[in-house]
Chain A
Amino acid sequence: MKLYFSKKLLQVIIVIFGASFLTFTLTYISPGDPAEMMFRSQDVVPSEAVLEKTREEMGLNNPFLVQYGNWLINLLKGDLGYSYINKGPVADVLKQKIPKTIELALVALLFLVVFSFPLGILSAIKKNKIIDYIIRSISLIGISIPAFWLGLLLLYQFVVKFHWFTITSQDGFRGVILPAATLAIPLIGRYTRQIRAAILEELSSDYVMGARARGIKESKIIFNHVLPNSLKGIITLFALSIGVLLGGTVIVETIFSWPGMGTMIMNAITNRDYPLLQAYVIFMSFIYIMISFTVESINQILDPRVRLKGEMI
């Protein structure tokens, strides 16, 4: 167990270090002067003298490795740096954005689980019947609608027409429903179809026929045997979706005025806000590593064959 966790920790360090170095390199070699972009983000035209002073203050005149080294040393001291566009410590910016992003992602995931599983199962057990066709058609529409259009459509229907929600209410559960639904609907469409396909595949297995022959109730077969066996592949996909949702979603955040990480990171990229960008990369690397670790563990629980000799659980 100790060995397993040591290995995992080493992996985490290597991945985070690699990702941060790669991002730093890519940002460094991409065109654009962060000092100028910082002013430009405010429509301020600086003189060359001011620009030079700002570059010096931002440490941009240092060689690449010195810049990266300084950032790394500060990171080890717990200092994520100063966000040029937000004019404040990166930690403070993330502290504001991360909870809102997590809130949105979790509610979207809740919708996803609550809707896609029943619909996927129903569609599978009603294969080629009217209800199956309806669910599949709706799923296809859900997958095909662009997020911005879906968002506006939901706003128009539920805010303008029905007055059930407000556009700007970000406090409380009501405020998160529409943006979460906008994020979740395409995913529900996608996962409903995938759950349906996975269940149908399992339903054609020999053990299902055997179970039916023994007179086991269909619901027991589905929920006790078919569903757990179908979950393996779906959980991996689910986990990747969690990562995407936690990364922030620019379009949905813009339409619903949701102060999440999507818009933040887009601004950071556009304005070459290195410290914020680096912190985001660290955060996302960590999230993906944790997700991968969790999925691995769940899959090992669901399927003991996946367990590696002496490594886990």
Chain B
Amino acid sequence: MKKVIVILLVIALCFTLGACNQNQPTDAGKTKTLNAATYWMSDDAEPTKGWNGWVVARFGAGENLVQLDENMRFKEVIAESWKQIDELTTVFTIREGIKFHNGNPVDAKACKESIERALEITDREDVKLPIDSITAEGQKLTIKTSQIFPTLINLLADPVYIIVDASADDGDNFAFQPICTGPFQITEYQPDVGLKLKKNENYWKCDVDVDTIDVKLIADTSARAMALQSGEVDFATALNRKDLGLFEGNEEYVVQRGPNLRVAFLAFNMKKPYMQNLEFRQALTYGIDKKTYAKELYDATMAKGPFNESLSFGYKGEDYYSYDPDKARELLDKVGFVDTDGDGIREMNGKNIVLQFATLSHFGRDAANTGVAMQSQYKEIGLGLEITQYENLSEIADSDKVDIIWDRWTSAPTADPQYLFETAYKTGSPANRGNYSNKEFDAVCEELKTTFGKGERDKLGIKGSEILMKDAGVVFLFYLEGSVVTRSNVEGIHRFVSDIYHIDERVKMK
């Protein structure tokens, strides 16, 4: 019997070990394959739907007329130039010699059809353009808007407007292998697994060095870091700070990191009468140690305003209300919220002040952790705080019970302040969860609608940010950090502040 058991155990061990072949390096001959890991894949690669276009742009498959470079500056791509003729009309000159992945030429007509297709089928309300007419003549594309629309160029840089060969849309496979113009062409797209791309032999700008890209979906951050460590991938993004420590200072890897466009903030519910009191809001803001939260809770960069400082319209001055519990107490005393019964919590109309902190379960631990940290700090200034996670945004917006709402936003995906201002803070805007309303701020939003010129718009962005910060209706907590780690055999991958792009024609492998 002993023999039988021993044999069974040996079989069991052999069964496992036998399967564990030494990982043989793949002999790809002269083919240069870049292995990459991504943390997110959209359900398909149809650029007009939701944020799917990010995946198409991110790995070099799709290009726009105009794009944003790594530092959020506009660069001409398919359009070699553009000129604003009048307040409503912009003329783009389409670059000669560009071909789609299928070999079809890219001219103004093709661009017109692509933009019209996007306008027709996109589900993104925020990128809809007020188009009066689009006309194509040779390489000249003329877009006329029905109203003054200064952010036309910005929105055309959104991946929704990636130029695709609309005539190749067969309604079936196109959503997984869109025909675009980028240095790489998607050859396989599996939302749960990853995507494969091959070099675009007809790429207009240069000869692309890398032959194929194999992008693998690795959702877990630690697993992504291990894939880099093991050499399974040459490039990965969005690693957490602890994992980045494994690669920083190691000559086998290149680490690029910095704040990206995602901003987390707290919105005070302005429907509440006591939230109308500026000094109360200031006290609430002084009571939050967001610098510590950013460092200890989120591995992120503390925020001052809605846009990070690297943006031309990011606020660069001193923070308005840095953590100061004494000032918070002073202001609370001043507005008459004092602790009369000695239980450590101040009262309002004879009742203890217990504020309601709301977040969405969707936002996960980051949001809830803010509430837990604030609970402790607010106690020090004599305020109670209860945390509730909601399933639905509308529940929060309609709820009279909520005082403080945690929210997160991609602040300026098209390098302009108008998008965030109009979506999240303008009176009555769809994502204005705190019901914030400020005439001066609304006036800035109105001005942005008709102001041309980057310099002027940047000034308005800073002005609007300052109003929001000073008014303490919103507390900007932190900017998420973006990171890109490449193995030393890879060159030409840059960290884009927008986080939209990773790979372009500059990528090279030694």
A-B complex is real: yes
Q: Which residues on A are within 8 Å of B, measured CB to CB?
A: 30-33, 36-37, 39-40, 42-48, 50, 85-88, 96-97, 111, 114-115, 117-119, 121-122, 125, 152, 155-156, 158-160, 162-168, 170, 173-174, 177, 181, 217-219, 222-223, 254-257, 259, 270
B12 touches A218 (CB 8 A): no
B232 touches A43 (CB 8 A): no
**Complex interface: chain B residues within 8 A of A114 (CB):** 8, 11-12, 15
A165 touches B20 (CB 8 A): yes
**Complex interface: chain A residues within 8 A of B28 (CB):** none
**Complex interface: chain A residues within 8 A of B227 (CB):** 159, 166-168
Q: At the interface, yes or no: B105 with Cβ under 8 Å from chain A?
A: no
Check A164/B216 contact, CB under 8 A, given A44-B123, A46-B125: no
Binding stretch for chain A, among B366-374, B375-383, B390-398? B390-398
The contact of B217 among A47, A125, A255, A257, by CB within 8 Å, is A257
**Complex interface: chain A residues within 8 A of B216 (CB):** 167-168, 257
| Interface of A, helix, strand, loop or mixed by DSSP | helix
Most buried by B among A33, A44, A177: A44
A254 touches B43 (CB 8 A): no
B223 touches A47 (CB 8 A): no
The contact of B391 among A31, A160, A163, A170, by CB within 8 Å, is A31
The contact of B23 among A32, A37, A118, A165, by CB within 8 Å, is A165
A47 touches B193 (CB 8 A): no
A40 touches B22 (CB 8 A): no
- Of all chain A residues, the one with the shortest Cβ separation from B50 is A42
Q: At the interface, yes or no: B126 with Cβ under 8 Å from chain A?
A: yes
How long is the Cα–Cα vector from A86 to B395 in the complex, in angstroms? 25
Known: A118-B9, A219-B4. 7 other contacts (CB 8 A): A32-B391, A43-B410, A45-B423, A159-B227, A163-B231, A168-B37, A218-B1
**Complex interface: chain B residues within 8 A of A257 (CB):** 193, 216-220, 223
A96 touches B192 (CB 8 A): yes
**Complex interface: chain B residues within 8 A of A259 (CB):** 190, 192-193
- Of all chain A residues, the one with the shortest Cβ separation from B194 is A168
**Complex interface: chain A residues within 8 A of B5 (CB):** 118, 121-122, 125
The contact of A164 among B4, B23, B222, by CB within 8 Å, is B23
**Complex interface: chain A residues within 8 A of B121 (CB):** none
A256 touches B223 (CB 8 A): yes
- Of all chain B residues, the one with the shortest Cβ separation from A168 is B216
How long is the Cα–Cα vector from A40 to B397 in the complex, in angstroms? 15
How long is the Cα–Cα vector from A152 to B224 in the complex, in angstroms? 11
**Complex interface: chain A residues within 8 A of B51 (CB):** 42-44
Minimum C-beta distance from A274 to chain B (A): 14
Check A166/B393 contact, CB under 8 A, given A152-B222, A223-B4, A259-B193: no
How long is the Cα–Cα vector from A177 to B410 in the complex, in angstroms? 39
- Of all chain A residues, the one with the shortest Cβ separation from B122 is A44
Minimum C-beta distance from B172 to chain A (A): 12
Q: At the interface, yes or no: B355 with Cβ under 8 Å from chain A?
A: no
A166 touches B230 (CB 8 A): yes
How long is the Cα–Cα vector from A40 to B142 in the complex, in angstroms? 34
Check A160/B4 contact, CB under 8 A, given A32-B392, A168-B218: no
B392 touches A170 (CB 8 A): no
Can you list 28 contacts pairing A with B, beta carbon distance less than 8 Å? A31-B392, A32-B392, A36-B392, A36-B393, A37-B392, A42-B49, A43-B51, A45-B423, A118-B9, A122-B5, A125-B1, A125-B5, A159-B226, A163-B231, A164-B20, A166-B23, A166-B227, A167-B216, A167-B218, A168-B217, A168-B232, A174-B19, A174-B20, A217-B1, A223-B1, A223-B4, A254-B219, A257-B223
A164 touches B21 (CB 8 A): yes
B12 touches A118 (CB 8 A): yes
Q: At the interface, yes or no: B229 with Cβ under 8 Å from chain A?
A: yes
**Complex interface: chain A residues within 8 A of B1 (CB):** 125, 217-219, 222-223
A163 touches B362 (CB 8 A): no
- Of all chain B residues, the one with the shortest Cβ separation from A114 is B12
The contact of A31 among B49, B217, B390, by CB within 8 Å, is B390
**Complex interface: chain A residues within 8 A of B499 (CB):** none
**Complex interface: chain B residues within 8 A of A181 (CB):** 16
B230 touches A159 (CB 8 A): yes
- 9 residue pairs, one from A and one from B, having the closest CB atoms: A219-B1, A259-B192, A42-B50, A32-B391, A118-B8, A168-B216, A164-B20, A163-B23, A114-B12
B230 touches A167 (CB 8 A): yes
**Complex interface: chain B residues within 8 A of A223 (CB):** 1, 4
B220 touches A160 (CB 8 A): no
- Of all chain B residues, the one with the shortest Cβ separation from A33 is B392
**Complex interface: chain B residues within 8 A of A86 (CB):** 43, 191
Minimum C-beta distance from B438 to chain A (A): 20
Q: At the interface, yes or no: B124 with Cβ under 8 Å from chain A?
A: yes
**Complex interface: chain A residues within 8 A of B50 (CB):** 42-44
